Amino acid sequence: MTHLTSDELVDALDGELAAGRRAHLDACEPCLRQLAELTGVLGETRAVDVPEPSPLYWQHLSARVRMAIDAEPAAAGRWSQWLRWPVLAPIAGLALLVMTVTLAVPRPPVAPPDIALSAETETTQDDDRFAIVADLLGDLDWDTAMSAGLTIEPGAAEQALLELTASEQQELTRLLRAELTRAKS
């Protein structure tokens, strides 16, 4: 009868050798010797532990993983992070606040209407005011807005929403829905 194959020796190590081959093993000196050698190496290998790192290391590893994930350029993930209500609500509130401030800024006294003043001139004045506000706010980042006092008080967004007209609320709803639908697609 042939000696045990490598597969059968592994089965013998696992204690799963077929009965017929077990009979050969019991009677075969070379196979028994080979199995004993493998068993010895396996036992010595099993006895070697991984040195335990410092207890602080595990927290350190978690922190490293967290930072590495934060550094990952996951474009889709970043969009999904922005499209959450806890993020969208303050942004929407800030936008509404800017709109409210813009509308509430007292306008300089308008000179008595000139007979020659046309509707076109009035539109140009509004456009100019909007351009000034847009220029001022265009590069405004969050930190600058915070330091300038443009912070969102609790309930400010809700208050701003309540002050919208029905048609403005409908338009805001439409814009938010369109944005969410676009983000999902």
Partner 1 sequence: MTHGSAVRNAWAPAVATGWTVTVVQPTPAETAVALNVDGLDDVALVAASVEGRREAFDVIVERHRRTVYQVCYRFVGNHEDASDLSQESFVRAWKGLKSFQGQSLLSTWLYRITVNVCLNRVSAKAAPTDPLESIDHFEDTRTEGAQSTLLREERAATVRRAIAALPRKQRATLILRTYHDLSHQQIADILGSSVGATKANFFHALANLKKLLGSKP
Query: Rule CB under 8 A: which residues touch partner 1?
Result: 6-7, 9-11, 37-38, 40-42, 44-51, 53, 57-58, 61-62, 64-66, 68-69, 72, 74, 77, 80-81, 84
Q: With 0-12 CB in 10 A as exposed, 13-18 as middle and 19+ as buried, what is 61?
A: exposed
Q: Cα separation of 168 and 58, whole Å?
A: 53
Question: What beta strand segments (E) does the chain contain?
Answer: none
Query: What is the smallest separation between the CB atom of 14 and partner 1, expressed in angstroms?
Result: 8
Q: Please answer whether residues 3 and 30 qualify as being in contact, where contact means their C-beta atoms are separated by less than 8 angstroms.
A: yes
Query: What is the smallest separation between the CB atom of 136 and partner 1, expressed in angstroms?
Result: 34
Query: What is the smallest separation between the CB atom of 15 and partner 1, expressed in angstroms?
Result: 13
Query: What is the smallest separation between the CB atom of 161 and partner 1, expressed in angstroms?
Result: 23
Q: Which is nearer to partner 1, 49 or 143 (CB)?
A: 49
Q: Which is nearer to partner 1, 85 or 167 (CB)?
A: 85
Query: What is the smallest separation between the CB atom of 128 and partner 1, expressed in angstroms?
Result: 43
Q: Which is nearer to partner 1, 7 or 120 (CB)?
A: 7
Q: Which is nearer to partner 1, 78 or 177 (CB)?
A: 78
Q: Cα separation of 80 and 86, whole Å?
A: 12
Q: Which is nearer to partner 1, 12 or 97 (CB)?
A: 12
Using the Cα atoms of residue 55, residue 57, residue 61 and residue 62 in order, give the sign of their dihedral. positive
Alpha helices in 4-71 (DSSP H): 6-13, 19-27, 29-46, 55-70
